[in-house]
Structure 1
Amino acid sequence: MEDAFARSVTEVILLILAANAAVGVITETNAEKALEELRAYQADVATVLRNGCFSILPATELVPGDIVEVAVGCKVPADMRMIEMLSNELRVDQAILTGESWSVEKELESTIATNAVYQDKTNILFSGTIVVAGRARAVVVGVGAHTAMGSIRDSMLQTEDEATPLKKKLDEFGTFLAKVIAGICVLVWIVNIGHFRDPSHGGFMRGAIHYFKIAVALAVAAIPEGLPAVVTTCLALGTKRMARLNAIVRSLPSVETLGCTTVICSDKTGTLTTNMMSVSKVCVVHSVQRGPLIAEYNVSGTTYAPEGIIFDSTGTQLDFPAQLPCLIHISMCSALCNESILQYNPDKGNYEKIGESTEVALRVLAEKVGLPGFDSMPSSLNMLSKHERASYCNHYWEDQFRKVSIADFTRDRKMMSVLCSRNHLQIMFSKGAPESIISRCTNVLCNDNGSTVPLTASTRAELELRLQSFAGKETLRCLALALKQMPVGQQTISYDDERDLTFIGLVGMLDPPREEVRSAMLSCMTAGIRVIVVTGDNKSTAESLCRKIGAFDDLVDLAGRSYTASEFEELPALQQTLALQRMVLFTRVEPSHKKMLVEALQHQNEVVYLLTYTSQITSKCLPYCWFRNLILVLVNFAIFIT
Structure 2
Amino acid sequence: MSATSTPGSDEPVDKILERLSCDPARGLTQAEARARLERDGRNELPPPPKPSALKRFFNQFANPIVLTLLAAAVIALINGATQDKTGPFLVRFGDAIAIFLIVALNAVLGYYQEQRAEAALDALQKMQTPSARVRRDDKVVMLSAAELVAGDVLEVEAGDAVPADARLLQTINLATEESALTGESVPVGKDAREQVPADAPLGDRANMLFVGSNVVRGKGRAVVVATGTRTELGKLSELIRGAGGDRTTPLEAKLDQFGKRILLVCLALSVLLFARGMWKGDRHWHELLLEAVSLAVAAIPEGLPAITTITLALGMQRMAKRGAIVRKLAAVETLGAATVICSDKTGTLTQNEMTVTKIYSGRRSYKVTGVGYDPRGSIVGDDGDIMDTPSKPLRHLLQIVALCNNAELDIDDEGSWRAVGDPTEAALLTLSAKGGLPKESILPSHQLLKELPFDSDRKRMTILTLDAKGREVVHTKGSADVLLPLCTHFDDEDGLREMTAEDRECIVKELERMSSQQLRVLAVARRILGTRHDGQDGTAATDPSFKDSEPELVPKVLDLEQGLTFVGLVGMIDPPRAGVKEAVAACATAQVRAVMITGDHKLTAIAIARELGLWEEGALALTGAELEKMSPEELEKRVEHVRVFARVTAEQKLRIVRAFKNRGHVVAMTGDGVNDAPALREAHIGVAMGKNGTDVARQAADMVIADDNFATIVEAVREGRAIYRNIQKFIFFLLSANAGLLVTVFVASFLDVPPLTPLMILWINLVTNGLPALALGVDPPDPTQMSEPPRKTTTGLLTAREYLGIIYVGLFMGGMGLLTYFWPFEHGIGGASRMEERAAAFSLLALSPLFHALSCRSATASIAALKPKIAGPLALAILLSGAIHLVSVFIPALRPVFRTYLMTGEEWLILLLLSASIVPGVELMKLLQRVGIGGRSLGPVSRRSTES
What is the match of residue 479 of structure 1?
Answer: 522
Please give the per-residue CA displacement for 1:597-640, whole angstroms capped at 9, x wherever unaligned.
21232233221111102399994434756996877667333221
What is the match of residue 79 of structure 1?
Answer: 165
**Superposition pairs for residues 268-307 of structure 1, below 5 Å?**
268-285=345-362, 294-307=363-376
Aligned amino acid, residue 589 of structure 1? V
Aligned amino acid, residue 408 of structure 2? I
CA displacement at 1:188 relative to structure 2: 5.4
Paired residue for 1:562, among 606, 613, 621? 621
What is the match of residue 575 of structure 1?
Answer: 634
What is the match of residue 108 of structure 1?
Answer: 192
**Superposition pairs for residues 7-26 of structure 1, below 5 Å?**
14-26=104-116
State which drifts further: 455-464 or 250-259. Answer: 250-259
Contact 1:117–1:589 under 8 Å retained in 2: no
What is the match of residue 468 of structure 2?
Answer: 423
Aligned amino acid, residue 597 of structure 2? V
Paired residue for 2:439, among 361, 369, 394? 394
The answer to whether the aligner puts 1:456 opposite 2:500 as a matched pair is yes
Contact 1:248–1:622 under 8 Å retained in 2: no
Measure the CA separation in 1 of the matches of 2:189 and 2:700: 35
CA displacement at 1:523 relative to structure 2: 2.3
Aligned amino acid, residue 571 of structure 2? G
The answer to whether the aligner puts 1:168 opposite 2:213 as a matched pair is no
What is the match of residue 693 of structure 2?
Answer: 621
Contact 2:133–2:140 under 8 Å retained in 1: no
CA displacement at 1:562 relative to structure 2: 1.3
Aligned amino acid, residue 352 of structure 2? N
Q: Report the secondary structure of 2:349's partner residue.
A: coil
Percent identical among aligned pairs is 32
The answer to whether the aligner puts 1:638 opposite 2:711 as a matched pair is yes
Measure the CA separation in 2 of the matches of 1:366 and 1:52: 43
CA displacement at 1:400 relative to structure 2: 4.5
The answer to whether the aligner puts 1:233 opposite 2:303 as a matched pair is no
Contact 2:114–2:327 under 8 Å retained in 1: no
Measure the CA separation in 1 of the matches of 2:306 and 2:703: 23
Larger of the two Rg values belongs to structure: 2
Measure the CA separation in 1 of the matches of 2:664 and 2:702: 13
Contact 1:612–1:623 under 8 Å retained in 2: no
The answer to whether the aligner puts 1:437 opposite 2:437 as a matched pair is no
The answer to whether the aligner puts 1:209 opposite 2:286 as a matched pair is yes
Change (3 A) 1:510 1:261: same
Change (3 A) 1:421 1:236: farther
The answer to whether the aligner puts 1:414 opposite 2:459 as a matched pair is yes
Q: What count of residue pairs does the alignment treat as equivalent?
A: 589
What is the match of residue 151 of structure 2?
Answer: 65
CA displacement at 1:475 relative to structure 2: 1.8
Q: Report the secondary structure of 1:362's partner residue.
A: helix
The answer to whether the aligner puts 1:468 opposite 2:512 as a matched pair is yes
CA displacement at 1:98 relative to structure 2: 0.8
Q: Report the secondary structure of 1:132's partner residue.
A: strand
Measure the CA separation in 2 of the matches of 1:461 and 1:499: 20
Change (3 A) 1:618 1:76: farther
What is the match of residue 335 of structure 2?
Answer: 258
What is the match of residue 374 of structure 1?
Answer: none
Please give the per-residue CA displacement for 1:195-220, whole angstroms capped at 9, x wherever unaligned.
974xxxxxx31xx4234324423433
Q: Report the secondary structure of 1:269's partner residue.
A: helix
CA displacement at 1:353 relative to structure 2: 0.9
Change (3 A) 1:173 1:149: same
What is the match of residue 403 of structure 2?
Answer: 336
Q: Report the secondary structure of 1:230's partner residue.
A: helix
Measure the CA separation in 2 of the matches of 1:624 and 1:531: 23
Change (3 A) 1:619 1:171: closer
Please give the per-residue CA displacement for 1:419-457, whole angstroms capped at 9, x wherever unaligned.
3444334333222222333223222222xx452222112
The answer to whether the aligner puts 1:145 opposite 2:258 as a matched pair is no
The answer to whether the aligner puts 1:47 opposite 2:134 as a matched pair is yes
What is the match of residue 124 of structure 1?
Answer: 208
Measure the CA separation in 2 of the matches of 1:433 and 1:321: 28
What is the match of residue 594 of structure 2?
Answer: 531
Measure the CA separation in 2 of the matches of 1:298 and 1:363: 16
Paired residue for 1:591, among 630, 635, 650? 650
Aligned amino acid, residue 391 of structure 2? L
Contact 1:32–1:250 under 8 Å retained in 2: no
Gaps of 5+ in 1: 198-203, 286-293, 372-392
CA displacement at 1:565 relative to structure 2: 1.4
Measure the CA separation in 1 of the matches of 2:448 and 2:319: 49
Measure the CA separation in 2 of the matches of 1:357 and 1:253: 40
State which drifts further: 419-428 or 75-84. Answer: 419-428
The answer to whether the aligner puts 1:3 opposite 2:90 as a matched pair is yes
Q: Report the secondary structure of 1:487's partner residue.
A: strand
Change (3 A) 1:467 1:80: same
CA displacement at 1:357 relative to structure 2: 0.6
Measure the CA separation in 2 of the matches of 1:428 and 1:165: 64
Measure the CA separation in 2 of the matches of 1:327 and 1:230: 65
Change (3 A) 1:531 1:58: same
State which drifts further: 352-361 or 145-154. Answer: 145-154
Please give the per-residue CA displacement for 1:23-56, whole angstroms capped at 9, x wherever unaligned.
123324544675x66x76x7422323x3344443
Aligned amino acid, residue 109 of structure 2? A
Contact 2:154–2:224 under 8 Å retained in 1: yes
What is the match of residue 75 of structure 2?
Answer: none
Aligned amino acid, residue 640 of structure 1? I
State which drifts further: 220-229 or 182-191. Answer: 182-191
Contact 1:611–1:632 under 8 Å retained in 2: no
CA displacement at 1:146 relative to structure 2: 1.0
Measure the CA separation in 2 of the matches of 1:631 and 1:248: 6
What is the match of residue 386 of structure 1?
Answer: none
Paired residue for 1:310, among 359, 371, 379? 379
TM-score (norm 2): 0.57
Contact 2:194–2:207 under 8 Å retained in 1: yes
Aligned amino acid, residue 369 of structure 1? G
Contact 2:367–2:382 under 8 Å retained in 1: yes
Aligned amino acid, residue 587 of structure 2? C
Measure the CA separation in 2 of the matches of 1:521 and 1:618: 20
Measure the CA separation in 2 of the matches of 1:629 and 1:329: 49
**Superposition pairs for residues 537-548 of structure 1, below 5 Å?**
537-548=600-611
Aligned amino acid, residue 97 of structure 1? L
**Superposition pairs for residues 29-48 of structure 1, below 5 Å?**
30-31=120-121, 43-48=130-135
Aligned amino acid, residue 345 of structure 1? D
State which drifts further: 50-59 or 334-343. Answer: 50-59
TM-score (norm 1): 0.83
Contact 1:152–1:624 under 8 Å retained in 2: no
Measure the CA separation in 1 of the matches of 2:289 and 2:640: 56
Please give the per-residue CA displacement for 1:531-554, whole angstroms capped at 9, x wherever unaligned.
221111111211221122122214
Measure the CA separation in 2 of the matches of 1:323 and 1:601: 52
Paired residue for 2:569, among 506, 525, 535? 506
Measure the CA separation in 1 of the matches of 2:701 and 2:277: 48
Change (3 A) 1:596 1:55: same
Change (3 A) 1:13 1:167: closer
Please give the per-residue CA displacement for 1:309-363, whole angstroms capped at 9, x wherever unaligned.
433335x2x23343322322222222222111111112x4411110001111011
Please give the per-residue CA displacement for 1:369-420, whole angstroms capped at 9, x wherever unaligned.
225xxxxxxxxxxxxxxxxxxxxx3322234444444332234432223334
Measure the CA separation in 2 of the matches of 1:621 and 1:247: 14
State which drifts further: 67-76 or 57-66. Answer: 57-66
What is the match of residue 380 of structure 1?
Answer: none
CA displacement at 1:228 relative to structure 2: 2.6
The answer to whether the aligner puts 1:608 opposite 2:667 as a matched pair is yes
